[in-house]
Structure 1
Amino acid sequence: MERIWENIEQIIQSKYQLKGDEWVQVSVSKRGKIHVTVVSDSNIKRTDIKKLLEEKLDKRSDSYQIGFINIYSTEQAEELHIEKIRKNDDYLSWSDALYADNIAKENKTETQVISFYSYKGGVGRTIALIETAYNLADAGKRVLLLDLDVEAPSLHNIFYDKVNDEINGVQYGTIEYLYRKVIQGSEDVRINDIFCSLQLKNVSGEIFVMPALKSMNKDYVYQIERLQTQQIQEKDVFREIFAYVQKELNVDIILIDTRAGFNQWGSLSLLTLSNQVIFIAYPNNENVEGLNMALQLMQNIGKKRYAVAMSKVVASEEGVKKTRSLFEGLNVAQEDLIPVYYKQEIALSNRYPIDSVDILVSYKELSDYILNNEKIERNKKLLMNGMKEQMLGQMFIEKQRLVRFLAVEQFLNQEANMFLKYRYREELFGIRNTQIKRRYKKGGMRMFQQLYIQL
């Protein structure tokens, strides 16, 4: 995907034929300022660069403004130690997404990384993340909760006892780890020191917590002020973290509690780190307006894997009617509303996750969405790289174009009725024109079910 700064760099590079030790770098500040640095021995005038920027930004002046323009000779650059700043191609900001129209690069981690995002705070996003994680753990998944709601973190408080356990707790939080790694350049930090296990009972999976901090203090405030997400991406720190938890903890799914609104931490989570997003919105106009903008920016960079849930829905005919009407105002392909009804038990609880069936069922649709996306991705990988013919060949009856449901169940690792429910192109990645046909025999005879697939 080409970003605006890349496009301007290419224009300047081509126009002035920069070569050898000559270079140009364009950067975009988080406030939308376009800054340009040129190192060249050619007679390049600042007024010419400014005119070029004015032409390029003519229709985007509401989003971008011209910042500083610095021009140096190669000798001046050497004397002043002016060097080109390394940029990570995977980094995306909200401003990058404003006018993007190409497909974003694939997230490189094999683990599902899912951001829980809300345009406004106070909509129940964090509780939705925790309860959904419990459902996933109950289904046998190993889940990591990562708190990147850095300006208003909460997981260190919600799981205070586990985070502060003398033996199994954390030594410090994720922000201190990032600060020491990125700002101080310290190698004396360990990923093993920034997470703990909830050690859940009565579930076959597990939940790990990676809090933003261990306890609130002035050092934490100082550290989040110094940290810039672009620096974090340039150091590739999260790729190291994700690779570690996948290998050492066998984590299946990472859920990120994301900062609300439009800010650098939100763009880091949604646009760069995650390969899926769960949007949580309270049913009112301002939430819908903000969410529509976030959805548009996601779509601009080619991210289409997301679900929207409306939270704190009033459980009445009027409440559902209002919520459904607002949901229909969202620019989403999602066919139906996922409601999370207001429950007093959630508001009054002091301990999470709440493991009562009545509460967990409220988040079942979200956890089912995540589980089924995981199966789809696994099936994609099995069918890629020349494996399609080999895998499907084992399922087909010789010289016939049909597959028995038993073979489908074994391949998908799920019940056949779930396959029928989620029957669309991505489900079998590359298979077209599926047709379902059931056969029943009466009189005590067994029921035959067959799935016909045309390749």
Structure 2
Amino acid sequence: MTASRDGRIVTFYSYKGGTGRTMALANTAWILAANGQRVLAVDWDLEAPGLHRFFHPFLDPSTLGATTGVIDLITEYAWAAITPDTGRRDDWHVDYARIQPHAVSLTPENLGWEFPGGGTLDFVSAGRQNREYSATVSTFDWDNFYDRLGGGLFFDALREDMKAHYDYVLIDSRTGLSDIADICTVHLPDILVDCFTLSDQSIDGAAAVARQIDERYGGRGIRIYPVPMRIDEGEKEKADAGRALARVKFDRFPTGLSGDELTSYWGAVEIPYRPYYAYEETLATFGDETGLTNSLLSAFERLTAVVTGQQITAMPPMNDEIRLRIKDAFTRRRPALPADLFLSYVAENRMWADWIESLLTQAGFRVVPRDVSAGPGTADEEQPPRFALPPRSA
């Protein structure tokens, strides 16, 4: 039996989208696991899940498509809570607050590399992508879940379960202000990585959330780290003005730092914009060589050092042949053939369709996917060859 841990839960949050938050989480998770840590990455952005894309070379699509996720975990408990059972123990909810049955382990060894020192990286998706997923997420009553179904106790138990089984749990939160975001930013984390770009709205929103959490939930002891993202030095004057504004808006964060320590923090933690990574969901842990001080990987290493209290500061060196092989697995291929394939699928097979589309695209085909469960589309005069994905049997 695995020894119980006392892990840390780290939420990556952004008030606005487009900050590179998910990419920062994925790279931080990889650096931690590559340093022998047991890591769990959770996609809690239920409306726009995308964390799995940064891990796709290491995920078996059939396993991922068949595995439940965050919304399934929550609804299973909710159904149990409204089902009468007079013989229940007082702590019956703990049995439903177990994260590992919903987790999928990443398998980099299939590409010739493995996490050293017993490190592991598990992934929990937003939920099984079937035809009920969108309706479940959009209609779920979070107020009722908390007020009548004991949602607070459930999330307390889930928090303890995750901390007991992993050294680090990294949660990709929904943007904006919502019940879901509150779960990720207030109820669950020990550390909040508050991501923002240097636009006025992004700075103001992120700073307001940080102040609100500090003022209303200071007793939770959540450590808040503001992190400027996608910094483009092409407009240095504007970038410097944005940095100065962020320092003013986040005047009390991170707490406990002052003077040179604060200046050093802000200088080290920002994440630069690198155009190379704007086109594909590629991990900088394989896209960049280790040891380069101005790379995107080095920025994520510094962020990891902040999150871990300087305990983990670098990605271990990697054989360059292996690194380039895995980097190539992320690379999107330019179609070599003019042929089109029409890929028809139903919503419950979306992850399978993504996988097939990826394989066909790498083979040089231009794939036109269509969700047939969304209703009939407009037929062209000349339809491309059809590749129909049948509904998964129950």
TM-score computed with the length of structure 2 as normaliser: 0.60
Instruction: Establish whether residue 333 from structure 1 lines up as the match of residue 333 from structure 2.
Output: no
Instruction: Establish whether residue 141 from structure 1 lines up as the match of residue 37 from structure 2.
Output: yes
One-letter amino acid matched to 1:210: V
Q: Name the residue aligned to 1:210.
A: 124
Match of 2:150 among 234, 257, 267: 234
Secondary structure of 2:176's aligned partner = coil
Match of 1:298 among 201, 213, 216: 213
> Structure 1 122/354 Cα, relative in aligned 2: closer, same or farther at 3 Å?
same
Measured against aligned partners, the alpha-carbon deviations of 1:330-368 in whole angstroms (never above 9, x if no partner) come to: 233341322211012221224446422333112122100
One-letter amino acid matched to 1:234: G
Q: Name the residue aligned to 2:198.
A: 283
One-letter amino acid matched to 2:208: M
Q: Name the residue aligned to 2:101.
A: 193
Instruction: Establish whether residue 253 from structure 1 lines up as the match of residue 172 from structure 2.
Output: no
User: Using the alignment, how far apart are the partners of 1:319 and 1:139 within structure 2?
Assistant: 37
User: Using the alignment, how far apart are the partners of 2:277 and 2:310 within structure 1?
Assistant: 27
User: Using the alignment, how far apart are the partners of 1:241 and 1:293 within structure 2?
Assistant: 27
User: Using the alignment, how far apart are the partners of 1:225 and 1:373 within structure 2?
Assistant: 42
Tell me which protein shows more helix as a share of its residues.
2
Instruction: Establish whether residue 359 from structure 1 lines up as the match of residue 296 from structure 2.
Output: yes
1:246 Cα deviation from its structure 2 partner: 4.5
Measured against aligned partners, the alpha-carbon deviations of 1:23-51 in whole angstroms (never above 9, x if no partner) come to: xxxxxxxxxxxxxxxxxxxxxxxxxxxxx
Count of aligned positions: 265
1:170 Cα deviation from its structure 2 partner: 5.0
Measured against aligned partners, the alpha-carbon deviations of 1:241-287 in whole angstroms (never above 9, x if no partner) come to: 4444454xx41011111111111111111111111100110101111
Contact conserved, 2:20 with 2:230, CA < 8 A, in 1? yes
Q: Name the residue aligned to 1:178.
A: 74
Q: Name the residue aligned to 1:83.
A: none
Contact conserved, 1:132 with 1:363, CA < 8 A, in 2? yes
Runs of 5+ consecutive residues of structure 2 not aligned to the other structure: 84-92, 255-261, 290-294, 313-394
User: Using the alignment, how far apart are the partners of 2:237 and 2:51 within structure 1?
Assistant: 34
Instruction: Establish whether residue 225 from structure 1 lines up as the match of residue 144 from structure 2.
Output: no
Q: Name the residue aligned to 1:368.
A: 305
> Structure 1 143/221 Cα, relative in aligned 2: closer, same or farther at 3 Å?
same
> Structure 1 354/229 Cα, relative in aligned 2: closer, same or farther at 3 Å?
farther
Secondary structure of 1:116's aligned partner = strand
Q: Name the residue aligned to 1:119.
A: 15
User: Using the alignment, how far apart are the partners of 2:138 and 2:311 within structure 1?
Assistant: 33
> Structure 1 156/350 Cα, relative in aligned 2: closer, same or farther at 3 Å?
closer
> Structure 1 157/363 Cα, relative in aligned 2: closer, same or farther at 3 Å?
closer
Contact conserved, 1:130 with 1:353, CA < 8 A, in 2? no
User: Using the alignment, how far apart are the partners of 1:347 and 1:372 within structure 2?
Assistant: 29
Q: Which moved more, 1:182-191 or 1:272-281?
A: 182-191
Contact conserved, 1:229 with 1:265, CA < 8 A, in 2? no
User: Using the alignment, how far apart are the partners of 2:57 and 2:27 within structure 1?
Assistant: 18
One-letter amino acid matched to 1:194: H
> Structure 1 163/329 Cα, relative in aligned 2: closer, same or farther at 3 Å?
same
Contact conserved, 1:199 with 1:206, CA < 8 A, in 2? no
User: Using the alignment, how far apart are the partners of 2:69 and 2:45 within structure 1?
Assistant: 13
Tell me which protein shows more strand as a share of its residues.
1
More contact order relative to length (CA 8 Å, sep ≥ 6): 2
User: Using the alignment, how far apart are the partners of 1:272 and 1:312 within structure 2?
Assistant: 28
1:322 Cα deviation from its structure 2 partner: 2.9
One-letter amino acid matched to 1:342: Y
Secondary structure of 1:153's aligned partner = coil
User: Using the alignment, how far apart are the partners of 2:60 and 2:284 within structure 1?
Assistant: 18
Runs of 5+ consecutive residues of structure 1 not aligned to the other structure: 1-108, 376-455
Contact conserved, 1:111 with 1:251, CA < 8 A, in 2? yes
> Structure 1 229/210 Cα, relative in aligned 2: closer, same or farther at 3 Å?
farther
1:329 Cα deviation from its structure 2 partner: 2.4
One-letter amino acid matched to 2:271: V
Q: Name the residue aligned to 1:321.
A: 240
> Structure 1 159/131 Cα, relative in aligned 2: closer, same or farther at 3 Å?
closer
One-letter amino acid matched to 2:202: N
User: Using the alignment, how far apart are the partners of 1:194 and 1:132 within structure 2?
Assistant: 21
User: Using the alignment, how far apart are the partners of 1:364 and 1:134 within structure 2?
Assistant: 10
Measured against aligned partners, the alpha-carbon deviations of 1:343-394 in whole angstroms (never above 9, x if no partner) come to: 122212244464223331121221001121779xxxxxxxxxxxxxxxxxxx
Instruction: Establish whether residue 342 from structure 1 lines up as the match of residue 238 from structure 2.
Output: no
User: Using the alignment, how far apart are the partners of 1:309 and 1:191 within structure 2?
Assistant: 28
Contact conserved, 1:112 with 1:374, CA < 8 A, in 2? no
One-letter amino acid matched to 2:19: V
TM-score computed with the length of structure 1 as normaliser: 0.52
1:239 Cα deviation from its structure 2 partner: 3.8
1:199 Cα deviation from its structure 2 partner: 2.5
> Structure 1 297/168 Cα, relative in aligned 2: closer, same or farther at 3 Å?
closer
1:290 Cα deviation from its structure 2 partner: 0.9
1:313 Cα deviation from its structure 2 partner: 0.4
User: Using the alignment, how far apart are the partners of 1:196 and 1:112 within structure 2?
Assistant: 20
Secondary structure of 2:9's aligned partner = strand
Q: CA RMSD in A?
A: 2.9
1:164 Cα deviation from its structure 2 partner: 5.0
Contact conserved, 2:45 with 2:174, CA < 8 A, in 1? yes
